[in-house]
Structure 1
Amino acid sequence: MQSALSGLNDVNRFDPSERSWVTERIRRLEADARRSADTHLWRLELPESWGIDLYLKDESTHPTGSLKHRLARSLFMYALVNGWLGPDTLVVEASSGSTAVSEAHFARMLDLPFVAVMPASTSEAKIALIEAQGGRCHFVSSAEEMCAESRRLAAQSGGNFLNQFTYAERATDWRGNNNIAESILTQLTEEGHPVPSWIVVGAGTGGTSATLGRHLRYHRLPTRMCVVDVENSAFFDGWVTGDPDHTCCGSSRIEGIGRPRVEASFVGQTVDRMIQVPDEASVAGARFLTRRLGRRVGASTGTNIIGVAKIVEEMRAAGETGSIVTLLCDSGDRYTHTYFDDAWVAEQGWALESWTQELERVLPGR
């Protein structure tokens, strides 16, 4: 007698070799994470009598030199467990900077070809960093064309567009699993103010602010989330108006943050406050911190410190004490011929002195 079960429509697509390939790639990512030390949380000294502690989470010490190292690992893991990657899959990303450098690093680790789609105006130094990690660069006329061209390339080759601007907010486990939020809070455990009053970050994809904001809410903490935005970026106005489709003209001049549209990874509901920072202030902030730390930091870190300065001034005026955490996103050594070149800065029409004086007044050392 034939079993009724044998008559069921049945399609079995399980491929042992494909599953074995994915398993090995996940093992490589996990092994790399276990070999990697956590990043430092530096304390930037302020007058002790203020009762305000300021910390910098130093993401520049990752193997690929920036905050985007965490994101790149998460994006590859997300793509693997979703079944989007297989042997010889071409991995495509829209990025001319740190994300592409980090993703090229992980693609090589997984034996996958990698292409970064970027504007033709991208500096030779950034191209060299991507190529040094084994990536290939594909050029378009402007930043606005990057995502569409990435989708086209991926579709044409049967590849996968990692799409940091959509998946950054969901690829990282915001509950914990050694994410940046959990790391910061663990490192603050024995400090004078272990639960920060504020965390201040910029927005490139929005993934970092989403992870931090969700983690704070999940653990029922009173910490407020502040996102700093730059010129020629849609995030600030989109958040203020509540328009998730807001766009603006032009491209951000502060590498790593700012976008011409509100990206899908930006979860505005996790943000308590936004501050818009002029580009010249961001560069002044990078140079100010460089002098204080004795080593160069990028202009996105400079943007962060401007937001921090505003909050510190407000806390002092209100007689508040507590701690503030922000990010040191990447090294300023990548920007020797731009943000740290006086002639280049002058060509942009930026005047840094007044912002430098303001930072020295608001954030003096002990």
Structure 2
Amino acid sequence: MTHVDRCNDADRAWVTAAIAAVEADANRSADTHLLPFPLPRDWGIDLYLKDESVHPTGSLKHRLARSLFLYGLCNGWIGPQTTIVEASSGSTAISEAYFARMLGLPFIAVMPASTSAEKISLIEFQGARCHLVDDPAKVVIEARWLAEDLGGHFMDQFTYAERATDWRGNNNIAESIYHQMEQERYPIPVWVVVGAGTGGTSATIGRYARFRRLPTKLCVVDPEHSAFYPAWAAVDWTVSTGRGSRIEGIGRPTVEASFLPSVVDRMMHVPDAASVAAARAASRVLGRRVGGSTGTNLWGAFSLIAELRAAGRTGSLVTLLCDGGERYSDSYYSDEWVAQQGLDLAPHLATIYRFLADSTWTPH
């Protein structure tokens, strides 16, 4: 009898230790806070923010990075000498760089040249290298080429996000939300509102609600220049905008493989000026800065709350505080940057403050 044995005991032992280290991180940080957003109690509608900024790497993408590393390790794609390459606008790269450093692996983040200096600094702080690309639409292609040239592993968040996440439970973001809502006035949310970057979070929440036979509906909000909303409206998943999103972390020029439209109940297109205005307005209300994608989420949530109020309905909504606004002092919180982008925040701020006063929703 003949056989071919490719087992390397030392490498297998390293993988076993690596998985234990990543799982230990999950044990320490999987449960994040669920914050009530202040609304008049007599509205009969409660809004909550799942605060993903408290993860060790400061964003929702910490969960995704952890899942992708476990997926790669368990699939045999990542070993003790593997160079990790990812295409990312910043937050995923920050989180993956954290895990790469934890495991002693080199990491290269391929990202648009327009990525904020704060995010680049955070990636480099983790000992990673940033590879900047002028055309945002070519970031994934460049990352794939780079990984092939180096003999490394391309993490490919846009393909594997929905596959790597355990959507049935295991303290994923959906299970955590529903567990934390158990003691609230309306424990089962009417709506959960999220943005789409990879589509992994919306897939996880939509699948979990169905699996648990819950009536919660899922709304996905989408910024300018992103393909998700126009593709949804046209029922054409080949739509391509050829442009990157100004709202970092969400929006893609093409519909990515991890986006599952079949679990989405509604989509909303949110102007970038509205996202930035909502982030700034929320920062005043909460007493802390939030990122632009949180603004996109809140714009969608406010619209749905106004709709429920007009229909005389009560209930709860949950959305995500994806990351803190400290990373965006030179963009979303810079009046100079806003002017350079040609964004007029005033009408959107007026819409938000009118809504917060009496639930009237009259977007421009």
TM-score bucket of the superposed structures, by smaller chain: over 0.9
- Within 5 Å, give how 1:290-301 maps onto structure 2: 290-301=283-294
Q: CA deviation at 1:21?
A: 1.0
Amino acid at match of 1:161: F
- Equivalent-residue separation in structure 2 for 1:290 and 1:123 (angstroms): 19
Q: CA deviation at 1:364?
A: 3.7
The equivalent position to 1:197 in structure 2, one of 190, 193, 200, is: 190
Cα contact 2:30–2:63 (8 A) shared by 1: no
The equivalent position to 2:52 in structure 1, one of 59, 72, 81, is: 59
2:201 maps to what in 1? 208
Moved over 3 A (4+): none
The equivalent position to 2:119 in structure 1, one of 116, 122, 126, is: 126
Amino acid at match of 1:116: A
SS at match of 2:26: helix
Structure 2, unaligned runs of 5 or more? 360-364
1:258 maps to what in 2? 251
- Equivalent-residue separation in structure 2 for 1:50 and 1:95 (angstroms): 40
Q: CA deviation at 1:243?
A: 2.0
- Equivalent-residue separation in structure 1 for 2:318 and 2:9 (angstroms): 46
SS at match of 1:190: coil
2:301 maps to what in 1? 308
2:109 maps to what in 1? 116
SS at match of 2:108: strand
- Within 5 Å, give how 1:318-357 maps onto structure 2: 318-357=311-350
Aligned residues: CA RMSD: 1.4
The equivalent position to 1:107 in structure 2, one of 92, 100, 107, is: 100
Cα contact 1:174–1:212 (8 A) shared by 2: yes
1:3 maps to what in 2? none
The equivalent position to 1:26 in structure 2, one of 16, 19, 26, is: 19
1:217 maps to what in 2? 210
1:49 maps to what in 2? 42
Cα contact 1:46–1:364 (8 A) shared by 2: no
- Equivalent-residue separation in structure 1 for 2:152 and 2:357 (angstroms): 51
Q: CA deviation at 1:37?
A: 5.8
SS at match of 1:255: coil
Q: How many pairs does the alignment contain?
A: 359
- Equivalent-residue separation in structure 1 for 2:244 and 2:92 (angstroms): 17
1:179 maps to what in 2? 172
Change (3 A) 1:182 1:37: closer
Larger Rg over CA atoms: 1
Amino acid at match of 1:244: W
Amino acid at match of 2:319: T
Q: Percent identity?
A: 62
Q: CA deviation at 1:365?
A: 9.0
Cα contact 2:191–2:216 (8 A) shared by 1: yes
Larger deviation, residues 29-38 vs 323-332: 29-38
1:241 equivalenced with 2:223 (yes/no): no
SS at match of 2:192: strand
Larger deviation, residues 242-251 vs 275-284: 242-251
Cα contact 1:68–1:99 (8 A) shared by 2: yes
Amino acid at match of 2:233: V
Amino acid at match of 2:31: D
Cα contact 1:46–1:365 (8 A) shared by 2: no
- Equivalent-residue separation in structure 2 for 1:122 and 1:256 (angstroms): 10
SS at match of 2:339: helix
Change (3 A) 1:327 1:178: same
SS at match of 1:92: strand
- Equivalent-residue separation in structure 2 for 1:349 and 1:152 (angstroms): 35
The one-character-per-residue Cα deviations of 1:2-56 (angstroms, maximum 9, x if unpaired) are: xxxx4xx633322222211110000101112222262110011211111101000
Q: CA deviation at 1:106?
A: 0.4
Amino acid at match of 2:32: T
Cα contact 2:193–2:317 (8 A) shared by 1: yes
Change (3 A) 1:70 1:37: closer
SS at match of 2:53: helix
The equivalent position to 2:221 in structure 1, one of 212, 228, 246, is: 228
- Equivalent-residue separation in structure 2 for 1:335 and 1:268 (angstroms): 30
- Equivalent-residue separation in structure 2 for 1:108 and 1:317 (angstroms): 51
Cα contact 1:210–1:266 (8 A) shared by 2: yes
